[in-house]
Amino acid sequence: MSPDTPVNENKDQFRPDDHDTDHFLLTTVVGSYPKPKWLNRAKELYQDDDHEFDAEDWQEAKDDAARLITAEHERAGLDAVVDGEMRRNEMVEFFAHRIEGYEFNGPVKVWGHNYFDKPSVVSEVEYDDSWLVDEYEFTAAASDRPVKVPITGPYTLANWSFNEAYDDDEELAYDLADLVNEEIEKLVEAGARYIQIDEPALATTPDDHAIVGEALERIVADIPEEVRIGLHVCYGDYSRIYPEILEFPVDEFDLELANGDYEQLDVFKDPAFTKDLALGVTDAHVAEVESVEQIEENIKKGLEVVPPEQLVVSPDCGVKLLPREVAYGKMANMVEAARNVEAALDAGELDIERGAPTPADD
């Protein structure tokens, strides 16, 4: 790295030793990835009582899938990888099964014939066994790259459950935040350095951003500085949570913006974006692979908001609903685009005006 390249220590810890350019745009994913078809078949076999496929076989299938998708992320060239959440069925259910105080009463409708086992909190929530340490250790062992750990945030865990036990969802969210904090401590102990809190529920109820902020304070209590904490928020009206979210104790915001064609980009220009921006540069809801050139243009949008040292490159959202080859194509093109933009930055070829939008001349 040349001496005049600005340093972002927290982000630079994920810079590969053999990174070619001075500039480094960390490339990563939000988390979920399409499951291989055979994994779904294995699950059916496991759930079929008449079949010999047992718990051990099912565990092996999940291990294989986690190894496969981690390797697929590496092959795409991502700097920080995830196992594609191969072991997780759904983002609330998975955690609710591991937290004392939750019970399941059956599926409820989300839309059409899409259902989820919305759990009920029936007593005070308590930490039992670790939720994700096994998953992290397995993925870390399967890869030489840094591993990111996505965790469903306490606000979403509270909001997307039936609350039978607490006076309000806020109180429940804070109790859950304490449990998330306990889990992150264990993950850090196991070696994790990159944690992402997913709070899609904030998009529905943006006025609750203060609750999410307070929950994050609890989440990061006593977690070492060098551990990178990101917050993923899905599509919503960002003007209702910005700039307030800059006060949150996180290093990075992972935002869905490609889906809305960067219409909301200006929201983040004033006041200045003081955290790292993990910018969604490929649309997770469109089953068409964007070209490298298109993604380069999208990455440049991020440079209108933050300088290169604060920019992280990521898809809009989890890509699990896309066909797997499309998801891979998006990752691979995204990495290629990021490397091209880094080279252009090194060469001083990019002249992008950053900051508050100025009124148009015409």
Partner 1 sequence: MTEYVSTTPGLFPLPDWAKDDLSDLKGHQKHDLISGDESGEIAATYEDARKEVVEGQQDADLDRTVEGQLRWDDMLAHPLAVHDAVETRGIVRYYDNNNFYREPVVTDDLDFSGDVATELETAAELADGDDLQAVLPGPYSLADLATDEHYGDEAAFLDAIADFLEAEASAFPEHETLFLLEPSLVEHAPEDGVDERASQAIDRVAGAVDADVVVQPYWGALEEKVYAHLLDADIDAVGFDFVANREDNLYNIQEYDTTDDISLGLVDGQNTLVEDPEAIRERVDWIYDQLPVSAFETVYLTTNTETFYLPYAKFEEKLAALAEAAELAEVKAA
Q: How many other CB atoms are there within 10 angstroms of residue 199's CB atom?
A: 23
Using an 8 Å Cβ cutoff, are 299 and 279 in contact?
A: yes
Which DSSP helix (H) or strand (E) runs through 123? strand 119-127
Smallest separation, CB 81 to partner 1 (Å):
29
Smallest separation, CB 39 to partner 1 (Å):
18
- The two structure tokens encoding residue 252: 């990075």
State which residue, 119 or 308, has the beta carbon closest to partner 1: 119
State which residue, 285 or 354, has the beta carbon closest to partner 1: 285
The answer to the question of whether 297 is labelled as a binding residue is: no
Smallest separation, CB 204 to partner 1 (Å):
6
The answer to the question of whether 73 is labelled as a binding residue is: no
State which residue, 113 or 359, has the beta carbon closest to partner 1: 113
DSSP 8-68: -HHHHTTS-TT--SSS--EE---S--PPPHHHHHHHHHHH-TTS---HHHHHHHHHHHHHH
List Cα–Cα distances, 144 to 147, 194, 335, in angstroms: 9, 14, 17
Smallest separation, CB 115 to partner 1 (Å):
6
State which residue, 237 or 266, has the beta carbon closest to partner 1: 237
Please state at what angle helix 292-303 crosses helix 324-346, rounded to 10 degrees.
60
- Give the binding site for partner 1 (CB under 8 A): 105-115, 118, 120, 159-160, 162-164, 201, 204-205
The answer to the question of whether 232 is labelled as a binding residue is: yes
Smallest separation, CB 10 to partner 1 (Å):
33
State which residue, 207 or 361, has the beta carbon closest to partner 1: 207
Query: DSSP letter at 131?
Result: S
Closest residue by Cα to residue 234 from 27, 24, 31: 31
Residue position matching structure tokens 């459950």: 161
The answer to the question of whether 234 is labelled as a binding residue is: yes
Query: What are the binding residues for Zn(2+)?
Result: 232, 234, 256, 317
